[in-house]
Structures are given as C-alpha cells and as structure tokens.
Amino acid sequence: MEAIVAHDLTKKFNSFTAVDRLSLEVREGEVFGLLGPNGAGKTTTIRMLACIISPTSGSAQIHGKDIIGEPAAVRGMVGVQTESPSLYERLTATENLEFFAKAYGIRDPGEIRSRTRELLEFFDLWERRCERVAAFSKGMKQKLAIARAIIHDPPVLFLDEPTSGLDPESSKLIRDLIVKLSRMERRTILISTHRLEDAERICNKVGIILRGGLKVSGAPEELRSRIAGEAKVEVRLLGSASDYIRSVEGAPGVSGVDVNGSNLIISTWDPALTTPDIVRRVVEDGGKVLSVRPFLPSLEEAYLKIVEGMRG
C-alpha cells in the first residue's frame, strides 16, 4: 500500500519554479531518500506534502488523504523534523515533549506522561529528561526533535536533513534511530538529504531531485548498477595474472578483463553470480587465488553522473 503519492506536484514563487511536476510513490514502511544539492527543491517538497505550504498545481495524498482538500487530516498523520531542531531551549526535554503533545491535541495528562517517557527512553534521553535543552549536544537535540515530531504517533515522518552539521558519531546515532523507527514501528519515512552515505545506508528507495524535478528513482543498488555502470571483481593471484585472461574471458556475465600485475580486474553486471564461476575457471587452469574482492559502483557515482548530465 502506498503511504505517500504525489502527481505533478509543482510550486512556484512568483517566476521561480522551486518544484516542477514532481511525481513519486512511497510504500508503507519504506524509508525513501530524496537526494539533491541545496536549492534542488527537497525542502519545498516536504513542506507541501506536510501541508505547511500549498502547491501551485498538482496533487498528493498521505494514506489516501488529499493535501489540498483535507489538510487538517494530513497534518494529524504526519510528523515533521525541520533542518533546525525548533525546540524551546529554556525548557527541559520533558517539558518540550509535553508542550508539543498538547499542541498536537493530546489532552489526557496520563497519556502525555506515558508517551513522553516512552519516547525519551526510546531515544536514550531519559537520564537527561530534567535538563534544559540548551545544554544538549547537536546530536541530542536532533534526537529530541525527532521525538517531538512523532509525539502524536503519526504513521508518516518527514525528516529534512536529519544529520546536517552532525559529527560522524552523532550522524550514525541518527541513522540507527531512523532504521529502528522504520523496522520496529513500521513508520513510513521520507528523508531529504544531500549526504549520499546516509541514503545508501538506510533507504529502501531513493529519488534524485535536480532543479525541482525528480530525475530518477529506485532502490540504491538498482541506481548504482543502472546509472553508475558495471561492478568490478579483483582476483589476486600468486604469479602473473596475464596467464589466466583466457580462463575468464568467456565466463557468463563477464564483459571485460584487465590485468594489473598479479591481479585480474574483471568487469561484470552481477558479481554475486559470476564470481564463483570465475574462481573455479582460474583454479581449474592451475591458478592459485590469494584473494577475491568485488568493487560495486557507488550511489555517489550514479548521482554525479546525473548531475553532470544535467549540467551538460
């Protein structure tokens, strides 16, 4: 079932088109990464889907609720974490969550206390619950901001640059939490980011947005192979590798073979399928294999090829 559906979504600010006929589908429980440079239209897309701003044209639904015809219903089903945490720094972590729980319409004090404790424990902030947020690190503020965004238990979560400005350790903590939210709580999560390592590690699907338009979308491994090109398999041998070129040239799935000293560098579209056959052929011809290493094309390579193609 699709949790998010957008069709020809467009937003213009006077003569400037920030988002241009963007269409996408995100299935329930998926983590979808919206990738692109600053100014590509990622934040504007999230703001339209979350009913913060209205589209100029096009349509979108969140769990079947229309963002134009039913904005109040949509707002109740989504949580939004903006690039800046948007927390009240003079308040404690507990006070922040209690305030936003009431803002989202939760009235029962017992439910507010229970939900606040549940989230602070989930995000490993319970021991710091009575401290003012001003004393928190950036990573702690980001965790609390995500907790604030799901205080009303929405099925869909929008995260705008969730690891921006964080150190590597804090970035990993946020990535791990996003995976946890998706797998344990089955939330649908749409992430806007220009950090490709985040998308490659946590997203089920990604879409690359440039100049307001969604240029391509798919699973990260699909985009890597389809756009960035073939994978390589390096077979390190004892002795000269050139003696075994003919051994692997005819193997199914092999499109090219190069030699670098004692290494065979083999081009293939499917290393998992071709590598066992390659090794078997080399060994049968008397080769002594020291190591085998696949080199997969990266999501970054696919992204850069699209960007360079647009500039060209």
Average pLDDT value for residue range 70-95: 93
Longest Cα pair distance anywhere in the chain, in angstroms? 77
How many structural domains are present in the chain?
Answer: 2
Note whether residue 305 is domain-resident. Answer: no
Crossing angle of helices 138-149/109-122, nearest 10°?
A: 140
Note whether residue 253 is domain-resident. Answer: yes
* Residues 200-256: tens digit of each pLDDT: 889 999 999 998 999 989 888 777 766 666 788 999 999 999 999 999 998 888 989
Look at residue 64 in the predicted model and tell me its pLDDT: 96
Same-domain status, 203 and 254: no
Same-domain status, 112 and 136: yes
Note whether residue 304 is domain-resident. Answer: no
| Range(s) of the domain holding residue 178 | 2-225
Note whether residue 306 is domain-resident. Answer: no
Same-domain status, 43 and 182: yes
Average pLDDT value for residue range 31-56: 94
pTM of the model as a whole: 0.79
Same-domain status, 187 and 80: yes
Note whether residue 261 is domain-resident. Answer: yes
* Residues 244-275: tens digit of each pLDDT: 999 999 888 898 999 999 999 999 877 888 89
Same-domain status, 130 and 271: no
CATH number for 277: 3.30.70.100
Same-domain status, 202 and 242: no
* Residues 150-178: tens digit of each pLDDT: 999 999 999 999 988 888 888 888 999 89
Same-domain status, 267 and 148: no
* Residues 12-25: tens digit of each pLDDT: 999 999 999 999 99
Same-domain status, 127 and 72: yes
Same-domain status, 180 and 80: yes
Note whether residue 95 is domain-resident. Answer: yes
CATH number for 138: 3.40.50.300
Same-domain status, 234 and 221: no
Same-domain status, 149 and 35: yes
Note whether residue 303 is domain-resident. Answer: no
Note whether residue 59 is domain-resident. Answer: yes
Same-domain status, 75 and 217: yes
Average pLDDT value for residue range 146-150: 95
